[in-house]
Amino acid sequence: MPNYSFDAGLLNPLSHGTRESELTSDQAWLQAMVDAELALTRALVDAGLVPEWMLAVCDALADASQFDLGAIALEARGGGNPVIPFVKHLGRAAEKVKAGASDHIHVGATSQDILDTAAMIVARRVACELIHQLDSLGGTLADLADRHRGTVMSGRTLGQQASPTSFGFVAAGWLDAVLLIVTRLEGIRDTLPVQLGGAVGNLAVLTEIARAWRSDALADDVLDIVLQRFAHHVGLVVPRLSWHTNRVVISELASVLAAATGVAGTFALDVSVLSRTEIAEVSERLAPGQGGSSAMPHKRNPVSAVLITAAALQTPGLASTLYGSMLAEDQRPSGAWHAEWQSLRVLERLTISAVTGAASLAARLDIDSDRMRANLDLTDGLVFSERVTTILAGAVGKTTAFALVERASQEAFVTNRPLQVVLASILIAEGCTDALRAQIWAAFSYEGEPGQSAAGIDRVVRSFRQRAAVSERGAIVEAGTPSTNDVRIV
């Protein structure tokens, strides 16, 4: 019997088929730490503070799989963070490549510099994957909104049927949320900073090295080169200062990740509700053997929708922990920084699983327009109360109209008669004109557009498709353009 001491996703089935483990596993974090350390060394070479032969050493050390992950993790207990043993392992490996190479590893840096930069590297990779999956989800939702703009269904408020809407308009609402969150993700992806401050954040060691190798007058310029090139090598930006205890970037990242999971979760929860047996307007297309029960052979459960909702329910607590970690004392806090590590990783994992799952779910939705129409008919016209009240208000005033329709609605409910018939009788008794009664009678129709549904759908779908076209052109340009040395400062 194999000894499965690793996490196979037994309690997180939504993760299977996603890039969650690839992007956030211990191995992914170790690779990001390698990337951060070697990027710093390369930057020091670029600034002339480290011999150029270190570039070949960096190339030889670039693959994190050559390091003993288990040993590094075990040894991390002794120092309280994984960078301390990692630097020792990296130094020993460097010495095997070239004698003296370890002298040029981890120069001027502290553990938090490397781990925070690694966290930003991981976060950028996660953000790129989330944007890709949200684009996929958005493309499916845009098609659904367009295709079902005329598919009438009941709008529901507080769990009850309210007024008619269209499934296309509902899908456009989901799509609008996707648009908002993908824009926020792009913004944070492009502003994630490197961390480099040394022991207490003021670059004291690197300043001394720069002054020794150059003149005092040139030291600041050399340090600027180090920071710029460090950021360039890992695809991040240069902060104005080190941010060892300024954790705004972490809280903002947490906010966007939790919101992205919330967007996916809201969509999934709507699917769960609409797939209830007594509603059955939407269903998740399942493969043979999926959606079943261990006790009830007939069940067809909305599996993905349930798991996505579960992921979304977990993220607020994680985001709360990361916000709490903003309370960081001195130049390195006792526990607040450490509390971020697992919280951020689990939040990233849940977000990847939820958003990827939502993209898959949207592509497997079956829409039952006949059932949507049949459910509207269940109220015998009560869903038209708002519309007929508005028409009637033009003749008798809003207050009187509301009272008349409310009275008619209550009578229709109690007597099990259509609101259209009951209201017609009341209007005759009230002496309303034939023309008004005919207008009210005609208002009980599913034909015509409810409100500004078509215009709203058009705006959202157009915005998404314009963004998709720009993104596609940008990807083509980026693929054909050599990388530059330009690095933004935030």
Instruction: Based on the residue annotation, tell me whether 332 is a catalytic residue of this protein.
Output: yes
**In Å, how far are 136, 405, 407, 432 from 427, measured between CA atoms?**
52, 10, 11, 5
In 3D space, the residue among 24, 372, 32 whose CA is nearest the CA of residue 235 turns out to be 32
Stated as kind and residue range, the H or E segment containing 412 is helix 398-415
CA atoms within 13 A on the CB side of 352: 27
The closest alpha carbon to 170, from 279, 259, 291, belongs to 279
Question: Residue 423 in 3-state DSSP?
Answer: helix
How many residues comprise the chain?
490
* Catalytic position from the list 92, 147, 285, 293: 293
Q: Which H or E run contains 203?
A: none
Asked if residues 340 and 322 have their Cβ atoms less than 8 Å apart, the reply is yes
- Which structure tokens are listed for 322? 């990361």
Give the integer Cα–Cα distance in Å for 89 and 226: 24
Active-site residue, selected from the candidate residues 184, 211, 332, 417:
332
The count of other CB atoms within 10 Å of the CB of residue 367 is 17
Q: What is the C-alpha to C-alpha distance for residues 151 and 166, in angstroms, rounded to an integer?
A: 5
Cα(172)–Cα(187) distance, rounded to whole angstroms?
23
Record the tokens describing residue 299, joined without a space. Answer: 């069940």
- What's the start-to-end Cα distance of the chain, in Å? 53
Let me know: does 76 contact 341? Beta carbons within 8 Å.
Answer: no
User: How many other CB atoms are found less than 10 A from the CB of residue 370?
Assistant: 8
Angle CA 21–24–28, to nearest 5: 95
Q: Which residues are catalytic?
A: 293, 332
